[in-house]
Every structure is written in C-alpha cells, then in structure tokens.
Structure 1
Amino acid sequence: MTGVLDTDWFYWALVIAVGFPACLLALTEIHNALRRRRSHLARPVYLLRTYILPIGVLLLLLVQAMRVSVDATPVRLAATVFGVMLMVLALSGLNATVFQGAPDGSWRRRIPSIFLDVARFALIAVGLAVILAYVWGANVGGLFTALGVSSIVLGLALQNSVGQIISGLLVLFEQPFALGDWIQTPTAQGRVVEVNWRATHIDTGAGMLIIPNAVLANASFTNFSRPPGTHSLAVTTQFAIDDPPDEVIATLDRVASALPQLRQGASPSTVATGALSYMTSIPLRSPADDFAAKTTFLRWIWYASRRAGLHLDEAQDAFETSERVQQALTVVAPTLRLNHSEQEQVMPHVRLTRYGAEEFLQITGQVPTRMTFIVSGRVRLAATADDGSLIPVRTLQPGDFLGQTTLTREPVTAAAYALEEVTVVHLEREYLEDLVARKPVLLHDFGHAIEERRRSLRRALSATDE
C-alpha cells in the first residue's frame, strides 16, 4: 500500500476519478440553467461538458496515469481531437459573447458576415498550424512563407477585383442601409431585401435589381427610411382658376388626414404652387405605402372635390340632376314618411352626392349638421377602440340613415365608412326641424334608432373586451 501511495500515477488517477464526475455534474447544472434562461452561452458550455472535458480527461489518463508516451499515436490522435474541439469552443464562445449578445446598432452588429468568416478561417488556420507543429512535429514555417508569397502575387494580379470587393465590404461595414430600407440609386428605387459581401438585392416592384456593392460605394444614393419617421409623399393636383385656394387647401388636407397610411401623430400640409397646381405633402409610415396612399388619395379627392363644389382638373360635375334627385327621394321617402307631393317640396332642400370606397362619411365624436340617407351602396358602422382600431358594429343598406343626432346636437358614437361607392342624400338641419314638427312620429323613429345603435355599439365593445 505504501508503494502505491508513493507513485505519481495514483494521485492523477484519484484526481480523475473524483474530479471528472464533479466537473461533469457542475457543467450539467450550469448548462440547464443557461438553457432555461435561453442564454447564448448554453452551446459553449454544452461543448465543454460533452466533448472537451471527456477528451481532456482521456489525455490525462493516458499520459499521467497510464504513463503512455506523448509521441504515441493514440495520444497524438486524442490531442488532435482535443485541439480541434478547443477551436470549436473558441469560435462558439466568441460568437456567443461578442456578437449574438450585441445590442442593436452597435459596431458588433454592423460587422459584415464576410469579416466574421475570414476571422473564423484565420483562427482555424492558426489552430491547425499549432496542432501540426506541437502535436505532430510538422514544420509549418515553410508553409506560411509559401502562402505569404502566393498571397502577394495573387493580390497584384487581382488588385482591381480585390479593390472592388474591399469597397463593397466597407459599404457593408458602414451599413448606410439595412434590410427593409427603401433606397433610390441612380438606376432604380426599391426595398433592400438582401445584402451579401458581393452585391445588394433591391426589390423594385417590377423585378429584382442586383447592384454590386462596389458600385454603391462609388455612387450616391438616397435612403428614404433613415432617419425613421421622416418619409413623406408629395402629390400634385390641379383645380380650376375660380376655385378658392383656401377651400381647395382645406379639402386636400382633410382628405389626406383620413388616409389609413398616414403616419401616426403627423399631419399633412398643402401649398399652392401656382399655375392652378397644389402640392400635398403626406407623412407616411414607410415608402412601401407610397403607391397605396397616392391611389387612395387621388380617388378620394375625386369625390371630395365634387362634394365641395370644386373642380378637380377643371372638370364640371353633372351628377346632381333633378331626375337623379327624384329617383333618390323614392328610396328615402319611406324612411321620412313622405308622400309624392312632399317629395316635390323637399327637393330644393336636399343634396345628392357620392362617396368613394373606404371613405368616411362620419367620424366618432363628430356633431352632425345634417342627416345623410343612403340611396345606393353599403356603409359600415364601426366603434373606435381605445387603441384607435375600428370594431365593426353593423352594415347600413339603401334607405338607412346617418347623423340621427343632428336634432339633439349630440356627437355621434360610431364612425361610418363606405364599403363601396355610395350615393347619399343630405338633408339640412333647418328643413329637418320643420319636417319633424309636421310629423312628430319621425322624432320617435330617430330616437329609437339612436338607442338601438347605442346598444349595438355597447355589444360590439363588450364582445371585443371578452
């Protein structure tokens, strides 16, 4: 027994027998804790526990406990595997600590992937050279010398191509744009969908434009997405010379303010640019909304200008004819309890007009000054939630009406927008008061409609809260 205690291999064997299970247990607990926290360090700890620790223990067992020569093939193979796993651990640990946990906008996030690939390749090359030199006794000095001379020769031969690649890499490192940004280059405009070490891919809407990064490095381009919250769309319209400029500007601003693509918290503005032209600046969330916002704005302006008595593109509106008004009153007559002679009397007091699809006829909180009767098309009543979203309540059909609180001077509790092109008849408050005075039953009908729609509104809001 005394002879065994005096040997070195006994203590190494004792350390391995006690230390290996203890380290294995500790690393297992650390790995489980990191996994529960979803930490990026879980993978390096897994590599350390599963591969490096057992192989390191095997090396100690062979060299220290069993006294196998370091020049033996089994020891060299184990040392090679151990060195390779150390390189994998170094790469994984570097990636987890430096890059995966980097905050957005930091220089670590901006490093292009090609730089990381080159750094990984260099680390692997150095690691393999160390393994070959110290484990297998190879002479790697001559190999590095040959590689250095070859690199110089290739660099001189390919200096133009390499210069372009370096220019592209510098663009990637600076990152003047990111995925999803909208940029305008000398040749096209679109959204950046892919950026690699060689080229930038831009979705122009009509195809994929691939621009070498070296070209972008030597040219100027515009990034519409930076700084965020600054993009605006400019739309030019023309009106007749007799249209009052202030009224035109107010109409354009009112229509632009109702666009669904409008950036939250921003307001559009319109200026007269001369020669019958007006330019409306519409703040948008993203350049991706340009097309939808412009088409919707121009479509709504067509309807809004005619309702306001303005002349978009100097056009004359001949929609409101006496024949159309008479036909519209036949749809409205049952609601207002009008006979044929009363329809003739009410004609001078009504206005026949139209709204475009998705255009608002009324907004929540508005105090109406007239009643609106639907002649054709459908209108959606919607409640406004706390976050500003619209909750459908019911759909109005021809013969239904809006603005029933005109007589009570109360704000409406629901918004209303057209589901398609809608033709309506407006009846002003003054004549409506006279009509109600002659037909008291109408006041009961309107009061019943107000209460019924309030109940529908409460039901819709309650269903959303559930």
Structure 2
Amino acid sequence: MDPFQDGWLGWAIAIAIAVPVALVILTEILGALTRRGNPAAGPVRLLRNWIVPVAALFALLVFAFQSDADQVWARVVATVLGFLLILLVLSAFNVALFANAKAGSWQERIPSIFVELARLILVVVGLALLFQWVWEADVAGLIAALGVTSIVIGLALQNAVGGVISGLLLLFEQPFKIGDWLDAAGVQGRVIEVNWRAVHIDTGSGIQIIPNSTLSGASFTNLSQPAGPHHVSTSVAFTTDDPPHEVIALLIEVADSLPMRAGEERASADYAGSGKYSVSLPINGPELAPQALSLYLAWLWYAARRRGLALDGDASDPIAEPGMLERAVEVVGPTLHLGEEERELVLATSHLERYGLGEIVQPEGVLPHDIRFIVDGRVRLAVEAGGGRLEFGSAEPGDYVGQTALTREKTLTTAIAADVLTVLVVPLATVDELVRSRPLLAQEIGQSIELKRRLAADALASAGLVRGTLGGG
C-alpha cells in the first residue's frame, strides 16, 4: 500500500499541522477578546474548545482513514459536529444582534423569552435538517404531526395561551421598566420584577403581583414617565375672608421650600372659589409623593398661623394664649439684659412664632428686619455651598438668629428648625432702642456675628470650599 498514492498520509499531515496552528491562533484571539470584555469571546471559545477538535476527528475518520461515510461512528461524529455548528451560528447571531444593543433600541426591548423561543425553534429546525442529511431520516411526517398537535393544544388552551401572548407583547412594547412607579388596577408602587407571566410591584406594605394579561387589557399610569420632575397635587381650603392672592403666595412659598423639590422647578397654586385652592408640587420622583404631601401640609399649618390665615377655617394658634408671651420674655430676658422698662417695651412690640420640624426660619441672602430669639426648641445653622447645605452649628433657647439686622447686613447663613420651634420676634426698632440703653447688648451681638462667621468659614474650609465674606446668622 502506497500511503502517498492512497492520500491518507497527506490528509493526516495536513490535519496534524492545521489543527495546532488553528488552536494557537484562536487562543490568541480569545485572550485578546477576554481582556477587552468583548462578548464575541463566547463563540470563539466554543470554536476553539469543541468545534475544531470535533472537526479534526471527523476529518480523520472520513478523509485520513478513508472510512465509509455511512459507518455509524462517522455519522455520530458528523451529528455532534453539526449540533456544535448550530450552536456556534446561534451564539454568533446573539452577539451580533443583542450583545451591544443600545438603550431604547428594538433589540434591547425584546423580552428574553422571545429570544429563547426563537433559539429553540432554530435548534429544532437545525437538528431536523441535520438528521435528514446525516441519517437520511424522514422528518417531514414528524414536523406535520407536531404542527397538528400544536394546533390542537393551542385551541384547547387558547384562553391561557392568549393571556401569556398578550403579556409577552406587553413586555415587547416595554411601557415601563424595573424601578418605574406604576398606578395600575388600584395599586401604586415601584416595579421590582418583570417576567413573562406577571409584574411584581412593591407597594411599601408588600409585593403585589399583577398578571401581564391584566395590564395589557387595562389602562395604567406610569408615574415615572416622562422623565423629569414628578408633579403631585393636593387641595386645601381657607376661609373666604382670607385674601386669595395672599393665600396663593403662601402656598407657593411653602411648596418651594420643600427639600424634595425638583431642581429649580416652581410650584403652582390656583384658586377654585369658595376658599378652595389646588396646589401642584414638583418633586424628584413619585416615591417621594407621600412624604412630600405630609411635610407640605404640616409646614402649611405653621405658616398659615404665622400669617394669620385660617387653614381649614381655623386660625387659632396655641402660642397666642394668655401668658405665653410673658413666659417667652422670661426665657430671653437674660440675653437682652431686660429691666422693667425694657421688658414692657418688648412685650408691647414683639410677638411669638412657631415653626415645624425642618422649616427654614431664616433664609440666606435676605436683610432681616427683626431678630428671632429662641424660646423653645433648637435651630441648625448652615451655609449654602456646593449645591447643598453645610451645617456648622446650632442655636439653643436664649440664643438668636437674624442678628445681622442690627448691622444692616444680608444673611449668608440659613437657620433651620431642628425641632418644633417657638421664637420671640423682636422688631429692629425695638432692638435699636435696647442697644441704646444697653451698650453691652450691642457688643454681645457683634461677637455672636463674628463667631458664627468664623464657624461658617471653618466649615467651608474643612469641606474644601471657598466663599466670599460671610455674614452672621
């Protein structure tokens, strides 16, 4: 037997050289793709680890050993090779179409179950063709039988299957995504899971599971769309004696001071007649709506009483009860060095105010016309810097804020109520009169301004921020 004349030695030498070279090249390519995190590394790994060795074995059986292609082992190896090639083609298509899909593209919106079903169908069809080619099997009858069976099963389960299909179409459209807030079927909450059968919504008091078929057959509201601030509305009532424009100004002022307000968006308020008003609050997301409404209505209660407006028809204020002002003057008397005559002056010209937890007592950038002495509660002092507030100190009962009124300077610090706060508001004219009779008071207020300016500057320096000259609190 002449090996060169028979040809098997040439095939054996070619395979012995080609397979190692192919493996070395594929190994280098796979290493480069893996280092870059490229999804194409998966198909290349399948090609190197399985397809090339199985193809070499098939070539040895059929060409080098010149085995009859009809032999069982040759057909078995051909079947395995064909199946691996089907997997390679599917993996390559998956990488090309879906691995680098851009956000919002049709590839990104296709539910994974659609991709899996398409892959299963292609594998079944590929295997049928493979068995027909390698084993000469008659698959036409089998396909026809499966088709008839599928029709019968589909008719028997049309209601259930119809619900699944409608749910899958809903997933394909993707009117919402994980993290969005939905108002659907009387349920409001955040979407935490979406699968082919149902949507899981976290309502805050449990997980509500709503079938996709239910959502596809009914209307629902995606509270997270469109992108941007979320507007939550509420209605409030005052008496018809309260001037509408004063009420509207108060409603907007309180709404714009909410900490969850969206950026520079402004609230809006409309008068509906008969003492009723509607307010729209722009907030950073629907998840903040309950907290924003609760805080807004609480702050509005305090603000309405400070303005003498009757929220819900009630203008009564507990701090206006007899004896409250006298007790407040007793608390701040030592700070003001009050004598009997000065005490009567403060009682005649001053009044009490209350603030809710978190309300701004004294904003920055304003020229105060009075000084607020703390009677009950505590105040947090902060500076606005770097897009947020940087706290640097606090004020306790007997202390005061707005002392730059005495020096006619704008405040560059913000005073925030750390508790339910009661303050005694002393007009600037009264403070000037007290300073004339008590020079020591002017010196103490000046020292307080300098101390708070220094504390604020130190806080900014510690945070790596620089601001211009700081005024007092």
TM-score by length of 2: 0.90
- Aligned residue number for residue 352 of structure 1: 352
For 1:446-461, what aligned pairs fall within 5 Å after superposition? 446-461=445-460
Is 1:203 aligned to 2:211, yes or no?
no
Partner SS state of residue 236, structure 1: strand
Q: State the Cα distance separating 1:146 from its structure 2 match.
A: 1.0
For 1:227-376, what aligned pairs fall within 5 Å after superposition? 227-229=226-228, 231-315=230-314, 316-376=316-376
Is 1:17 aligned to 2:24, yes or no?
no
- Aligned residue number for residue 141 of structure 1: 140
Counterparts of 1:444 and 1:58, CA distance in 2 = 99
Decide whether aligned partners of structure 1 residues 430 and 214 sit closer, same or farther in structure 2, where only a CA change above 3 A counts: same
Any idea what the Cα deviations from partners look like across 1:110-155, whole Å, max 9, x if unmatched?
1122211211111221232233233344332221111011112222
Q: State the Cα distance separating 1:4 from its structure 2 match.
A: 5.8
Counterparts of 2:275 and 2:174, CA distance in 1 = 43
Q: State the Cα distance separating 1:220 from its structure 2 match.
A: 2.2
Decide whether aligned partners of structure 1 residues 344 and 142 sit closer, same or farther in structure 2, where only a CA change above 3 A counts: same
- Equivalenced residue count is 463
Instruction: Note if contact 1:40-1:97 (Cα within 8 Å) is conserved in structure 2.
Output: no
Say what the alpha-carbon RMSD is for the aligned residues. Answer: 2.3
- Aligned residue number for residue 51 of structure 2: 52
- Aligned residue number for residue 471 of structure 2: none
For 1:121-136, what aligned pairs fall within 5 Å after superposition? 121-136=120-135
- Aligned residue number for residue 78 of structure 1: 77
Counterparts of 1:28 and 1:454, CA distance in 2 = 67
Is 1:412 aligned to 2:411, yes or no?
yes
Show structure 1 runs of 5+ residues with no match: none
For 1:22-101, what aligned pairs fall within 5 Å after superposition? 22-101=21-100
Q: Which amino acid aligns with 1:366?
A: V
Decide whether aligned partners of structure 1 residues 151 and 454 sit closer, same or farther in structure 2, where only a CA change above 3 A counts: same
Q: Which amino acid aligns with 2:289?
A: D
Counterparts of 1:408 and 1:75, CA distance in 2 = 101
Q: Which amino acid aligns with 2:371?
A: M
Q: State the Cα distance separating 1:296 from its structure 2 match.
A: 0.3
Instruction: Note if contact 1:320-1:353 (Cα within 8 Å) is conserved in structure 2.
Output: no
Counterparts of 1:113 and 1:121, CA distance in 2 = 12
Counterparts of 1:130 and 1:311, CA distance in 2 = 83
The percent of aligned pairs where both chains have the same amino acid is 45
Q: Which amino acid aligns with 2:296?
A: F
For 1:414-433, what aligned pairs fall within 5 Å after superposition? 414-433=413-432
- Aligned residue number for residue 174 of structure 1: 173
Is 1:384 aligned to 2:388, yes or no?
no
Counterparts of 2:348 and 2:75, CA distance in 1 = 105
Counterparts of 1:68 and 1:10, CA distance in 2 = 14
Partner SS state of residue 405, structure 1: helix
Counterparts of 1:87 and 1:411, CA distance in 2 = 76
Which shifted more, 319-328 or 106-115? 319-328
Counterparts of 1:288 and 1:7, CA distance in 2 = 79
Decide whether aligned partners of structure 1 residues 339 and 113 sit closer, same or farther in structure 2, where only a CA change above 3 A counts: same
Decide whether aligned partners of structure 1 residues 124 and 22 sit closer, same or farther in structure 2, where only a CA change above 3 A counts: same
Counterparts of 1:339 and 1:48, CA distance in 2 = 96
Partner SS state of residue 178, structure 1: coil
Instruction: Note if contact 2:345-2:430 (Cα within 8 Å) is conserved in structure 1.
Output: no
Q: State the Cα distance separating 1:421 from its structure 2 match.
A: 0.8
Counterparts of 2:385 and 2:7, CA distance in 1 = 79
TM-score by length of 1: 0.92
Q: Which amino acid aligns with 1:356?
A: G
Q: State the Cα distance separating 1:292 from its structure 2 match.
A: 0.4
Decide whether aligned partners of structure 1 residues 126 and 374 sit closer, same or farther in structure 2, where only a CA change above 3 A counts: same
Counterparts of 2:290 and 2:209, CA distance in 1 = 23
Any idea what the Cα deviations from partners look like across 1:389-411, whole Å, max 9, x if unmatched?
22221222222221121123322
Q: Which amino acid aligns with 2:217?
A: N
Any idea what the Cα deviations from partners look like across 1:202-247, whole Å, max 9, x if unmatched?
3334443333322322222222222222631111111122211111
Counterparts of 1:48 and 1:190, CA distance in 2 = 47
Which shifted more, 118-127 or 327-336? 327-336
Q: Which amino acid aligns with 2:243?
A: P
Instruction: Note if contact 2:342-2:434 (Cα within 8 Å) is conserved in structure 1.
Output: no
Q: State the Cα distance separating 1:68 from its structure 2 match.
A: 3.7
Counterparts of 2:463 and 2:74, CA distance in 1 = 70
Counterparts of 1:220 and 1:260, CA distance in 2 = 33
Q: State the Cα distance separating 1:313 from its structure 2 match.
A: 1.1
Instruction: Note if contact 1:239-1:277 (Cα within 8 Å) is conserved in structure 2.
Output: yes
Q: Which amino acid aligns with 1:336?
A: L
Counterparts of 1:69 and 1:454, CA distance in 2 = 97
Q: State the Cα distance separating 1:322 from its structure 2 match.
A: 4.8
Decide whether aligned partners of structure 1 residues 460 and 8 sit closer, same or farther in structure 2, where only a CA change above 3 A counts: farther
Decide whether aligned partners of structure 1 residues 136 and 242 sit closer, same or farther in structure 2, where only a CA change above 3 A counts: same
Decide whether aligned partners of structure 1 residues 138 and 464 sit closer, same or farther in structure 2, where only a CA change above 3 A counts: farther
Counterparts of 2:248 and 2:403, CA distance in 1 = 30
Q: Which amino acid aligns with 1:328?
A: A
Which shifted more, 424-433 or 124-133? 124-133
Q: State the Cα distance separating 1:6 from its structure 2 match.
A: 5.6
Decide whether aligned partners of structure 1 residues 314 and 85 sit closer, same or farther in structure 2, where only a CA change above 3 A counts: same
Q: Which amino acid aligns with 2:441?
A: L
Q: State the Cα distance separating 1:455 from its structure 2 match.
A: 2.1
Q: Which amino acid aligns with 1:181?
A: D
Counterparts of 1:366 and 1:12, CA distance in 2 = 93
Partner SS state of residue 465, structure 1: coil
Partner SS state of residue 319, structure 1: helix
Partner SS state of residue 190, structure 2: strand
Counterparts of 2:76 and 2:140, CA distance in 1 = 22
Any idea what the Cα deviations from partners look like across 1:29-63, whole Å, max 9, x if unmatched?
32232233222222222222222223323333333
